[in-house]
Structure formats: C-alpha cells, structure tokens
C-alpha cells in the first residue's frame, strides 16, 4: 500500500458475531478504510478474571485485519476497569469532588493513585505488547483512552502530599507559595494538607477556591498523576516493543489536563474532535493547532470524529452533506496525517447506540453517511502522500497556557464572565480571518521563529517568559497582550509591582484600576468602531501611545488599546474584551506590519491554511465554510490536488459551498 492519510476508526468486533466481521471488512474496503482502532474497551474481554488472560478474540481481530491489508492502532484497553477488578480492589473506584467514593460503573473510572490499578493496567499493557509487538497489523499503540477527570480519595491525598514535597521541598516554601497566612492556613505538617474539594477549600464548584495556589497545584498534580498511568503503561509496552509509536487520544482544549506536561511522553499527538454545536470553524481549527503545537508542529492524528452525529448532548444535530468532508480536510490543513472515526459500526446497546457511525444498525452501504465516508476515502487515497509530514510555516504564534486558564477562571474578581477560551479564540480567529497561519504553542516554546506573538489573557507570567517576549520585540517583532495578563506568578501570587507586572516594560503601560460591568453593558471604543465588555482596565501610558480609547464613563478618553515601541519592534496592550470586530481590527494592524495577512484575507467564509510538504512544496488549502459559492481571484498559478484543475494567476475561480481546494504551485 502506498503512503496516504490513514483512514478508519474505532472497530469493536468483540461486540459482534464473526459474520458481522466479514460484512465489516467488505464495507471497509468499499470505504477505503485502512486503519482500525481496536480494543479500546476490551479489558473484561482480555482479562476476564485476575488470573485469566484470553487473547483469542483479539488474536483473530488482528489476524483478520492483517489478512485484509489493514493496520491496527491497538489500545491497551485500560480506560474502563472490569467489574471484578473494582469489586476486588475497591480503592480503584474514584472519589469525586464532593467526597463520594464511587462504586463500580461507567468508564474512565479508575483512581490514578491506586496501586492495584497501576499494577494491573501495566501488566495488561505489557502482556499485549509481548504478544503483538511483531504483529504485521500493528501500526501504533493507543494507551488508555481520553484520560481525564480527577480523584479526591485518600490515596490521591497522600500522593498529592508527596508531589508537593517534591515541588516545594519544605513546608515553609509551600506556605509561602500558597499565601497561607491568609485565613490562618499555615501548615505545620504535610499530613494536614487536604486535596482542595467541595469538602475543603471550595464552594460553588471547582472554580471557587479559597486558595488558588492549592487548587492550581492540585490540577498540576492530577495532570501528573494521570500522566503517570500513561507513562507506566508506555514503559510496559516499551519493554517488549521498542519501536512502534505510542499515543493516547486527547480532547483538544480540555481544561482539566495540561497537555503540555504530557506532550514529551507521546510519540505523536492524537485527538478527538467533537466541536460544540454552535462553534465557528475557527474553534476546531484552534484545537487542531493546539494539538499540532504539542509536538513542535509535527503532524497529529485525528483519532476520532463523528461521521454524522454525537449522542451525548441534549440535542445532537446531524453533520449536513459535505460538512464531514470539509471538517476532515480542515484537520488535514492544520496538520492531521490520519482521519479516524468514532465509530465504524454503531453498537447495538448502551449509551452510544445512537451515536453516528460509518455503518448503522442495518449494516447498509447505501446510506448518505456511508456514501460520503466512501467518497472521502477515495479522495484521500487519490491525494496519496502529498500532505504527509507537511509542516505549517507560521510566523505568528499564539501562547496557550493551562496554568493561566486555570488561574483566570478560578479567580475571584474582577469578573467571572471572562472565559479563557473565549478570549484566546477571539485573537486566534482574528489572525486566521486575516489569513495568517498560527502556531499555538506553550509559554516555554522557542519564540525566535515568530514575527508576531499573541499572548491574550496571559494571567500568569512564569520563568523567563517576559524576557523572551521582550526579545521578540527587541529584534523587530510584535507582541500583543491583553487585560488580565501579567497579574500573578506561577503560584498565582500577585506581582508586587504595577500591572501588568513583568510585561510592563514591553507594553509601556501602568494599570492601577479596573472596572467590571455586566455583559449587557457595552463600552464604546470609537476609533475601532467597536464595543468592549466585561472588564475595563484603566491604562496610564508610560511610553505607549494610544491606538484606541474608551468612549464612556469617567475613564472616557483614556486608552483601551496601546502600542509601545520596544527595540526595533512593538508591544501592544488591549485593556478590555473588545468585540470580535475590534479584535479583528487590532490583529489585522499587527499582522499588516509584518506583511502577514494572506491573499484571501477578508473573505467572510473562506479559510486558508499553508502546509509545506517535506519536499518543500508549499500547499495552500482553501476551505469554504459558507453555503454559497465563494468567488475568488487566484493569487498564483497552481493546480488543485483534489481535482487536478489548474487555476491561473489573476484569473477568477469559484470554490463550491463547503468546498475545498489544495493548491500546489505548478
Ligand atoms: C469519546 C470516546 C469514545 C466515544 C466517543 C463518543 O471520544 O473516546 O469512546 O465515547 O467519545 O463521542
Ligand atoms: Zn484517588
């Protein structure tokens, strides 16, 4: 088989008699499916009792896949513990935020600190690797599934204390980091420390904590505790299989886990895309770019998406004709080297029986969904290896920081209504609307490749970040940051300087006060013909020049947006939550300074994305998210890799509703 974008999805033949497997493989061939994710929820099948392992079904599944010329992404199956395990080792059941010890049920249901879980999950992973390391169907390892959630049991409390000792060294350091003299919390023994939960520091849920430092550390600890489960299984796999790449499926912008802490431990990133119902196309695009940023821009796998509909929401609309194809090429445009579905065949019972599938309960291949899946399979096969291993040559970076996300949203004051993802998305969307390719990177990333660094709501400034941002401006680049940035250190302790703390020299502003208003209040920003909402920082320029000002209230006429010359570059400060139009305008000006606006910028529905193939070919994806044809003028002479049609520089061409072209200059 020639190299191509891997195509397939979750395959659960263990739920079916073998005649259904025959039908499956016939249908997979018809749909161009070459990759099967196998065994995600197979623990009770492969290990029906503690001392019994039975791989006969899995053997047949893998052998059959190999015989059919398909490859397998093999799961270790440890995301849902079997009932016998929970019964025998009740410690494995999680204790929730309210302090309730759960009994057996559901999935993603294990305590990450449970020794029994660790021992049994790694043993199983090891056995699977021992058995299948050399299997011809094996393509990749899929450890666990969608790690997430949190546990608050006594084992986790003990593990948290151990983690804190490692991190802080002494109780004095911890007391200092957490500001425990506030409300008489000075700890004198590690054992006095409790996980922050509804029973301890929290009220009104996970975002209302008396001690942000404690809750921040617990989120970091839980990220690491779950990561520990992944790493232990990976090591068990590696003991038998030194080479096959290992991944686990992430969930994009998933708040509970800081994926940047996980990224170094994965051989490649993969994720499951189920965008919120009313999300604009830049929402999944941002998540794709975040996932691509996990491994320094290397391609990732789209491990799951629905071919038609989800089941878990109150209302589960269909993907309209053409939407699946567009979403899939959007993933490829942002760096996916594989496009897999959840699921290939709909399960007969349980809570996902109405979840969309390539093959429904009737097993037909003449449904609209199957036809679209098969047509896409054909197109991907025809595209071959043209996009594989390609890179995004972005000169714009957007900083994404889980610590800032957590700290911002658990902050009391100035406004609970400022949501991290919303602000970050607004800046991302603006850059994309201007046609800029964007790398979404951690705050520790090397910033030297970038001309523009967007750092919205960078609430915490850690390590040498301020100096590295200054270096971007120093050499001629532009850094943009916003309200509620530069407020606190890595422990969420306020900087004992003017706001925005370490970002003050770069931005040339000082903020002494900030106003917050209900969402219906709109503060006019006349220079941008835009409005602003939620939070209004009152900026005293200290070197910066105003770009736009507030139009109302006692701070009318004072700057809402500023620009500061810094070295050969600039530091911009946006002191309020501008409406999207305002953000668009500010970001467009910043990008224009570096000539980073794209040739189709400003088209309302057309998204562009550049990919540089390993041979240096620069591909331009054009994706029309609109339901009307998009009439464009070709910026260059090129061939569409999907249709083989040529466009001539300067000549008009039309992009179909929901249409895609991949322009290759030739
Ligand atoms: C997740 C899981 C799958 C399935 C789908 C349904 O992504 O990994 O097992 O539950 O959701 O959307
Ligand atoms: Zn626990």
pTM of the model: 0.98
pLDDT of 656 above 50: yes
Considering 91, 201, 233, 304, which one is annotated as catalytic?
Answer: 304
Residues with Cβ < 8 Å from 593, sequence gap 6 or more?
478, 570
> Does the C-beta of 47 come closer than 6 Å to ligand 1?
no
Indicate if 352 and 287 belong to the same structural domain.
Answer: yes
Average pLDDT over all residues of the chain = 98
Structure tokens at 133: 């390391």
Both tokens of residue 225?
């505790």
Q: Is the peptide bond prior to 442 cis by the omega test (within 30 degrees of 0)?
A: no
Mark whether 304 is an active-site residue.
Answer: yes
Contact 317, 309 (CB under 8 A): yes
Is residue 210 assigned to a domain? no
In which band, very low, low, confident or very high, does the pLDDT at 578 lie, cut at 50, 70 and 90?
Answer: very high
Asked whether the beta carbons of 487 and 460 are under 8 A apart, the reply is yes
Record the tokens describing residue 351, joined without a space: 């809570």
The percent of residues in the chain predicted with pLDDT above 90, rounded, is 99
Calculate the CA dihedral of residues 137, 138, 140, 144 and round it to 10 degrees: 110
| CATH number of the domain bearing residue 323 | 3.20.20.80
Q: Which atom of ligand 1 is least distant from the CA of 272?
A: 7
Residue 145 in contact with ligand 1 by CB distance below 6 A:
yes
For helices 212-238 and 402-409, the axis angle rounded to 10 degrees is 150
Would you state the structure tokens that stand for residue 7, as one six-digit string?
């195509």
Q: How far are the Cα atoms of 104, 111, 222, 255 from residue 156, in angstroms, in the given order?
A: 18, 8, 9, 20
β strands within 274-425, DSSP E = 300-304, 336-341, 396-399
The pLDDT of 158-163, averaged and rounded, is 99
d(CA 30, CA 378): 9
Inform me whether the pLDDT recorded for 481 exceeds 60. yes
Residue 132, SS3 per DSSP: helix
Distance of CA 251 to the CA centre of its chain: 6
**pLDDT classification of 1: cutoffs 50, 70, 90:** very low
DSSP state of 14: G
Decide if 356 is inside a domain. Answer: yes
CA–CA separation, 485 and 443 (whole Å): 13
| Structural contact between residues 531 and 525, judged by C-beta atoms closer than 8 angstroms | yes
Residue nearest to atom 3 of ligand 1 (CA): 342
Average pLDDT over residues 202-214: 97
Say if residue 494 is in the same domain as residue 549.
yes
**CB of residue 289 inside a 6 A radius of ligand 1:** no
Q: Domain boundary at 383, 410, 428, which? A: 383
Ligand that lies nearest to the alpha carbon of residue 306, given by its number in the listed order: 1
Nearest to 641 by CA among 614, 658, 665, 657: 665
Q: How far apart are CA 607 and CA 626, in angstroms?
A: 10
Looking at the fold, whether 446 and 306 belong to one and the same domain comes out as: no
In our burial notation (b when 16+ CB lie closer than 10 A, e otherwise), range 8-25 reads bbbbbbbeeeeeebeebb
Domain C-terminal end among 531, 560, 593: 593
Contact 301, 338 (CB under 8 A): yes
Domain that holds residue 418: 396-593
290 and 348 fall within a common domain: yes
Full DSSP string of 153-190: SHHHHHHHHHHHHHHHSSHHHHHHHHTTTGGG---SSG
Residue appearing with tokens 């591909």: 619
What's the confidence (pLDDT) of residue 277?
Answer: 82
Average pLDDT over residues 485-489: 98
- Which CATH number do you get for residue 627? 2.60.40.1180
What is the pLDDT confidence band of residue 641, given thresholds at 50, 70 and 90? very high
Residues 425 and 560 in one domain: yes
Query: What is the widest separation between alpha-carbon atoms in the chain?
Result: 76
As a whole number of angstroms, the distance between CA 289 and CA 15 comes to 35
Residues 258-284: what's their mean pLDDT?
96
The finding on whether 241 has its CB within 6 A of some atom of ligand 1 is no
Tell me how far apart the alpha carbons of residues 80 and 310 are, in angstroms, rounded to a whole number: 20
Among 47-51, 268-272, 274-278, 306-310, the range scoring the smallest mean pLDDT is 274-278
Ligand 2 centroid to Cα of residue 22, in Å, is 42
If asked whether residues 536 and 420 sit together in one domain, one would say yes
Pair of tokens at residue 111:
């305590």
Residue 307's pLDDT band, with cuts at 50, 70 and 90, is very high
Q: Judge contact between 479 and 453, C-beta under 8 A.
A: yes
Write down which residue in 536, 567, 593 finishes a domain: 593
Q: Is residue 658 part of a domain?
A: yes
- Say yes or no: CB of residue 355 within 6 Å of ligand 1: yes
Give whole-number Cα distances, 528 to 120, 307, 579, 585, in Å.
Answer: 60, 41, 10, 7
Four-point Cα dihedral 324, 330, 336, 340, nearest 10: -10
Dihedral (CA of 405, 406, 410, 411) sign: negative
pLDDT tens figures, 383-430 = 999 999 999 999 999 999 999 999 999 999 999 999 999 999 999 999
Same domain, 22 and 134: yes
| pLDDT tens by residue, 105-129 | 999 999 999 999 999 999 999 999 9
Same domain, 526 and 650: no
The residue whose CA has the least distance to atom 10 of ligand 1 is: 352
Instruction: Choose among 447, 441, 430: nearest CA to 506.
Output: 447
| Mean pLDDT, residues 502-516 | 98
| Alpha-carbon gap, residue 25 to 27, rounded angstroms | 5
Split into its structural domains, the chain has a count of 3
Q: Same structural domain for residues 586 and 614?
A: no
Q: Closest Cα to atom 5, ligand 1: which residue?
A: 342
- Residues 560, 475, single domain; the answer is yes
pLDDT at 43: 98
- The residue written with tokens 């922050």 in the block is 196
Tell me the pLDDT band of 217, cut-offs 50, 70 and 90. Answer: very high
Q: Which residues pair with 482 in a beta bridge?
A: 574
Residue 164 lies in a domain: no
| Residue 414 sits in the same domain as residue 378 | no
User: Residue 80's Cα: distance from chain center in Å?
Assistant: 23
Residue 362 contacts by C-beta under 8 Å, 6 or more apart in sequence? none
Q: What is the domain-level CATH number for residue 464?
A: 3.40.50.880
- Assigned domain for 153 exists: no
- The pLDDT-based confidence of 2 (bands split at 50, 70, 90) is low
Over the stretch 66-93, which tens digit does the pLDDT of each residue have? Answer: 999 999 999 999 999 999 999 999 999 9
CB atoms within 10 A of CB 102: 17
* Alpha carbon distance 539, 499 (integer Å): 9
Burial class, 263, CB count within 10 angstroms (exposed 0-12 / middle 13-18 / buried 19+): middle
Check 146, 201, 379, 537 and give the catalytic one.
146
Rounded Cα distance between 268 and 139, Å, is 12
Compute how many other C-beta atoms are within 10 angstroms of the C-beta atom of residue 272: 20
Answer yes or no: is the C-beta of 274 below 6 A from any ligand 1 atom. yes
Q: Looking at the predicted structure, is the pLDDT value of residue 459 above 60? A: yes
- Asked if residue 376 and residue 263 are part of one domain, the reply reads yes
Q: What is the pLDDT of residue 602?
A: 80
């Amino acid at each position: 088989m020639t190299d191509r974008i891997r195509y397939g999805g979750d395959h659960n033949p263990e739920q079916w008699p073998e005649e259904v497997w025959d039908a499956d493989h016939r249908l997979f061939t018809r749909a161009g499916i070459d990759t099967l994710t196998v065994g995600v929820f197979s623990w009770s099948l492969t290990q029906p009792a503690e001392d019994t392992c039975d791989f006969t079904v899995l053997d047949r599944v893998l052998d059959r896949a190999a015989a059919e010329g398909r490859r397998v992404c093999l799961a270790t199956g440890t995301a849902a513990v079997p009932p016998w395990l929970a019964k025998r080792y009740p410690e494995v059941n999680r204790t929730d935020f309210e302090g309730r010890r759960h009994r057996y049920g559901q999935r993603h249901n294990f305590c990450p600190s449970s020794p029994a879980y660790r021992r049994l999950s790694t043993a199983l992973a090891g056995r699977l690797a021992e058995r299948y390391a050399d299997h011809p169907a094996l393509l990749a390892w899929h450890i666990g599934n969608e790690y997430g959630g949190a546990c608050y049991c006594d084992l986790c409390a003990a593990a948290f204390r151990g983690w804190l000792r490692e991190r802080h060294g002494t109780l004095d350091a911890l007391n200092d980091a957490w500001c425990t003299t506030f409300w008489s919390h000075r700890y004198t023994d590690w054992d006095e420390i409790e996980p922050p939960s509804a029973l301890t520091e929290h009220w009104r849920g996970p975002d209302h904590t008396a001690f942000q430092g404690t809750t921040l550390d617990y989120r970091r600890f839980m990220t690491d505790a779950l990561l520990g489960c992944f790493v232990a299984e990976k090591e068990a796999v590696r003991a038998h299989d030194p080479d096959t790449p290992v991944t686990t499926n992430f969930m994009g912008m998933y708040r509970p886990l800081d994926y940047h802490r996980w990224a170094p431990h994965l051989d490649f990133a993969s994720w499951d895309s189920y965008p919120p119902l009313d999300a604009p196309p830049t929402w999944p695009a941002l998540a794709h770019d975040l996932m691509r940023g996990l491994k320094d821009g290397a391609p990732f796998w789209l491990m799951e998406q629905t071919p038609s509909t989800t089941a878990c929401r109150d209302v589960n609309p269909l993907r309209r004709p053409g939407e699946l194809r567009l979403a899939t090429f959007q993933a490829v445009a942002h760096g996916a080297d594989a496009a897999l579905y959840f699921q290939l065949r709909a399960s007969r019972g349980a809570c996902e029986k109405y979840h969309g599938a390539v093959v429904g309960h009737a097993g037909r291949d003449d449904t609209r969904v199957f036809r679209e899946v098969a047509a896409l399979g054909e197109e991907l096969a025809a595209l071959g290896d043209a996009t594989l291993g390609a890179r995004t040559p972005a000169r714009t970076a957007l900083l994404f920081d889980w610590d800032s996300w957590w700290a911002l949203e658990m902050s009391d004051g100035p406004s609970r209504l400022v949501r991290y993802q919303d602000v970050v998305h607004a800046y991302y969307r603006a850059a994309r609307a201007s046609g800029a390719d964007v790398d979404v990177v951690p705050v520790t990333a090397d910033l030297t490749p970038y001309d523009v660094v967007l750092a919205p709501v960078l609430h915490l400034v850690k390590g040498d970040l301020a100096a590295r941002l200054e270096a971007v401006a120093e050499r001629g680049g532009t850094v943009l940051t916003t309200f509620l940035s530069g407020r606190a250190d890595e422990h969420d302790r306020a900087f004992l300087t003017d706001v925005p703390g370490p970002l003050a020299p770069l931005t040339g502003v000082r903020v002494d006060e900030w106003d917050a208003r209900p969402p219906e209040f709109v503060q006019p920003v006349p220079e941008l013909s835009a409005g602003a909402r939620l939070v209004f920082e009152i900026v005293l320029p200290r070197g910066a020049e105003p770009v736009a000002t507030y139009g109302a209230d006692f701070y009318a006429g004072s700057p809402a947006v500023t620009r500061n010359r810094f070295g050969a570059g600039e530091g911009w400060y946006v002191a309020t939550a501008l409406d999207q139009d305002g953000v668009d305008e500010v970001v467009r000006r910043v990008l224009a300074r570096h000539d980073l606006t794209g040739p189709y910028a400003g088209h309302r529905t057309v998204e562009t994305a550049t990919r540089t193939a390993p041979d240096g070919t620069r591909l331009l994806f054009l994706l029309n998210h609109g339901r009307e044809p998009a009439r464009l003028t070709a910026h260059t002479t090129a061939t569409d890799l999907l249709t083989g049609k040529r466009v001539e520089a300067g000549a008009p061409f039309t992009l179909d509703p929901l249409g895609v072209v991949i322009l290759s200059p030739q």
